[in-house]
Structure 1
Amino acid sequence: MHTSPLRRAGMLVLAVGATVGLAACSGQGSGTAAPGPADSAPASMDETGTRVALSYPGGIVVLDGETLDVVGDVDSEEFTRLNSAGDGRHIMVTTSEGFQVLDAGTTSDEPVLTDLVFEADKAGHVVTHGGKTVLYADGTSDSTIFDTDALLTSHGDMPETEVVPGVEAHHGVSIVLEDGSFVTTVGNADGRTGIVVRDPSGETIAENADCLGVHGEGAAQDEVVVFGCDDGALIFDDGEITKVDAEDQPYGRMGNIFVSETSPLVLGDYKDDRDAEGYLLHSVALIDTAAKTHTVVDMPEGAEYTFRDLARGPEDLGYIIASDGAIHVFDLEQGAFTDAFPVIDAWEGPADWQDAHPAIKVSGDIAYVTEPGKNMIHAVDLTTGETVVSATLPVTPNEMAVTH
């Protein structure tokens, strides 16, 4: 196995919203607190390094981001979702009880699935940015917010949280902006319709109900926030909400959003046929948050993808691991695909969205790409297109998250 050093660059935000402060109805940690794995001071980022967490049926393996060696293997539920907690060390594992904290460990501490659980009815989206982590419970639409670094300093205790109660339960997401504004989706058991923005006192300052199927969010440059709709997207900018329509009507869905804090351009997955079979997609959505435009760009011929296959990386470019086995490079400023890096074998779309299929996550210049068909993972230098490390895993990887 080749183990040349992996270069690291400035971090980009991967489909997250801005969350800094909140003055709203709140409470103490809404979960189960129990001793964690370490009582010492938090490890520095250098000591922690990048860790890659991969779920498999009944467990989670943790890899060293440099060598891709397995450094931990913990038991969990049959299917779990994984999201970075945003502090460079912890992963949020969505389970039947809520959001359970996985400590990815350090050079001296082994990874462990802690007993810390932020209880949630149908744990859903995790949003991290600006020193805050936000957990959304689909079963109640409650939003639980805590300081991102709190898990590093709580010495195994449940950190203090603020909870914004939901109104009507739905599969949603919330973010908090730097001025304390709280932005959350609106919906109920019958569907999702839009977003509402409240100031720190709880007063509604903007709302829009013209976003059927609202899903996903991301904060681009200058904290301009984008939400996907079944027929376009909503853009919240400087106190106002703008609806941008998709090229395809009445259905042109953007459901997952990939942003950079240093770019006004937003990449989204895109589906133009409500009744299409399978989960493979053949176009991407490009949102210009400054110009307030929505554009659809076709994938290269023979290249399709799913919601797990998009990321942002160096130079604010988009990177998509497609069904032809290559990472396709998307230049958002040009609105065009400019390069492709062969990485894995060609693959077919999953029969169910939960089924294992290739995924991509980016840390600095490095893209981590899973290849479930071979029980493998690859680290690709996005500045050169070269695969610098590959590893065979003892399990078939499904969900993936990186610590930083």
Structure 2
Amino acid sequence: MKIRRVPVLLATLVALASSSCATSEPGSDPGSEPAAEPSTDPTGTAEPAAGTEVAAATPRLAVTHDGGVMVVDVRTGEVLAEEALEGYARVSPAGDGRHALVSTTGGWEVLDLGAWTDEHGDHGHHWTSPAGLTGLRFEATEPGHVVAHDGLTTLFDDGTGTITSFDTTELTSGSPEVTTTSTDEAHHGVAVRLANGNLLTTDGDEESRSGVRLLGPSGTVMAETDACPGVHGEAFAGEVAVLGCEDGAVVVDGRRITKVTSPDAYGRIGNQAGSEVSPILLGDYKTDADAELERPTRVSLIDTRTAEVRLVDLGTSYSFRSLGRGPDGEALVLGTDGALRVIDPRTGEVQRSIDVVARWKEPLDWQQPRPTLHVVGSTAYVTEPRSDRVHVVDLDRGRVTSSLDLPHTPDEVVATAG
């Protein structure tokens, strides 16, 4: 594995190509195109937008749709920016409470939502600036998972196996220093650079993937396992990482990797939601390896302290975009019955059910819009593609407080607290 540090941003200011996005379907392997050598030559930086101090935080949303991405003011519903993009676009939090990364043709574009807060101990200063794409791009053949953890952001290119990481706070300057690493084989994977310099990454190839490796700063293997068939997804319970497998999960705590075994021979956990304040991870749970599309009704709760899994029957199905966590570690699941369930992760008890959207059915094509959940603090945002709306849910009060009409049918959503 080769590690390279580049003192300026891996970015490009060229216009987007017209071919469609190559982001892999959740749980699928990348295509059969040969892996290309990644580009690491800097071709430009962006000037950070100047901020204007305002009296209060201004939460905003980045919402993808067929044709691009828009930035929406949560308080007014006003569309502050419209950016056209070719192909299928996805959006992920960059990790700094201000930017998002939009995966599209050729890589990840940096989107500035234009609202943030500088904390100063017992108070904060709130700022706004013009929203929109910054012009910076992290190049990738098949942009895949984005992981923000411990002040670092890590990107995984499914098409080449290239892993790019950088200090998240440096996005504001427009020119963060990046570290690039490549796996032995390209695959549909995920990686995260840790604050101590170690790298946690999946291992596989175009045909299969079952490996998880923890590497030191120089690339030395510190711990590894090959006992995670179909490894997919990642989330943290505090400082403990969990990656899903087709027969359970693996827990990575320091240099120790522990297997969590599903109660079913095929018990796939492929999408997870973690919390900084809970040692218990929320995951999906599927048991039909041959299903064209399984619509599961149970979720998994993985206790990272004991490597034990508890299954919770919801009485309704959900999708891979239905999982979230509340401010106190509550497990949140948006069901196809339209209700957002609040689950105590310690007991598996459904404590509350909040009606949010109309009943819906998960589409066969994973790229088709469906109600999607994103949580920031004590506020949950839920899209409703059927009505071209996004609903704002106050988790403390247990109800929808506002609904925003959108000019496009929403797909994925990322929120910032402003």
TM range (shorter): 0.7 to 0.9
Q: Specify the alignment match of 1:229 in structure 2.
A: 245
> Quick one: distance in 1 between partners of 2:308 and 2:61?
35
The 3 A distance-change label for structure 1 pair 129 and 226 is same
Distance 1:271 1:391, change over 3 A: same
**Corresponding residue for 1:239?**
255
1:403 and 2:416 matched: yes
CA distance in 1, matches of 2:87, 2:294: 22
Deviations 1:268-309 (A, max 9, x none): 01111112243532110110000111222211x2x2100101
Q: Is the CA contact (8 Å cut-off) linking 2:276 and 2:329 kept in structure 1?
A: no
Gaps of 5+ in 2: 13-42, 116-126
1:189 aligned to 183, 206, 209, which one? 206
Matches within 5 A, 1:4-403: 24-28=3-7, 29-32=9-12, 33-34=43-44, 36=46, 38-40=48-50, 49-106=58-115, 109-154=129-174, 158-221=175-238, 223-249=239-265, 251-299=266-314, 301=315, 303-403=316-416
Q: In the TM superposition, what is the alpha-carbon distance from 1:314 to its structure 2 partner? A: 2.6
Letter in 1 for 2:68: G
- How has the CA–CA distance of structure 1 residues 45 and 132 changed in structure 2, closer, same or farther, with 3 Å as cutoff? farther
Q: Which has the higher contact order (CA 8 A, sep 6+)?
A: 1
Are 2:63 and 2:412, in contact at CA under 8 Å, matched by a contact in 1? yes
TM-score, normalised with respect to structure 2: 0.85
CA gap of 1:119–1:360, structure 2 versus 1, over 3 A, is: same
1:79 and 1:137, CA in 2 relative to 1: closer, same or farther beyond 3 A?
Answer: same
Cα distance between partner residues in 1 of 2:87 and 2:65: 8
Contact 2:151–2:168 (8 Å) recurs in 1: yes
**Contact map agreement 1:91 1:403 (CA 8 A) in 2:** no
Q: Deviations over 1:28-50 (max 9, x none)?
A: 4332154636453x677977732
Distance in 2 between residues matched to 1:191 and 1:225, nearest whole Å? 22
| Change over 3 Å in CA distance of 1:48–1:329 after alignment to 2 | closer
Equivalent in the alignment of 1:19: none
Deviations 1:359-395 (A, max 9, x none): 0101111100000011111000011111111111111
Query: Any idea what SS the aligned residue of 2:63 has?
Result: strand
Q: 1:152 to 1:43 in 2, by over 3 A?
A: farther
Q: Which one is further off, 194-203 or 341-350?
A: 194-203
- 1:39–1:336 distance in 2 versus 1, CA, 3 Å: closer
2: CA distance between counterparts of 1:180 and 1:111? 32
- Write the deviation string for residues 235-274 of structure 1: whole angstroms up to 9, x where unpaired: 111311111110111x110011111111110000111111
Residue pair 2:11, 2:45 contacting (<8 A) in 1 also = no
1:37–1:112 CA contact under 8 A, matched in 2:
no
- Partners in 1 of 2:211 and 2:218 — Cα distance? 21
User: Cα gap change, 1:393/1:189 in structure 2, threshold over 3 Å: closer, same or farther?
Assistant: same
Distance 1:46 1:142, change over 3 A: farther
After superposition, what is the alpha-carbon deviation per residue over 1:190-215, rounded to whole angstroms, capped at 9, x for unaligned? 11112011122321111000101000
Task: Go from structure 1 to structure 2 and tell me whether the alpha carbon gap of 1:279 and 1:67 turns closer, same or farther (over 3 Å shift).
Answer: farther
CA contact (8 A) 2:342 2:352 kept: yes
Change (3 A) 1:39 1:351: closer
Q: Compared with structure 1, are the counterparts of its residues 145 and 280 closer, same or farther at alpha carbon in structure 2 (3 Å cutoff)?
A: same
Conserved? CA contact 2:54–2:128, under 8 Å: no
Checking the alignment, whether the CA contact within 8 Å between 2:165 and 2:193 is kept in structure 1 is: no
Q: Percent identity?
A: 41
Q: Secondary structure at the match of 1:281?
A: coil
Give the conservation status (yes or no) of the 8 Å contact 1:214–1:229. yes
SS at match of 1:275: coil
Aligned-pair Cα RMSD in Å: 1.9
What SS class does the counterpart of residue 386 from structure 2 fall into? helix
- Rate the CA distance shift 1:99–1:73 in 2: closer, same or farther, 3 A: same
- The alignment partner of 1:150 has SS state of helix
Question: Over residues 89-145 of structure 1, what are the superposed CA-to-partner deviations in whole Å (9 max), with x where a residue is unaligned?
Answer: 211010111011111124753321222110011000111121111111111111111
Q: Which runs of 5+ in 1 are unaligned?
A: 1-22
2:283 partner amino acid = G
- Equivalent AA in structure 1 for residue 332 of structure 2: Y
Q: Which amino acid aligns with 2:4?
A: C
Rounded to whole Å, the distance in 1 between the matches of 2:210 and 2:48 is: 44
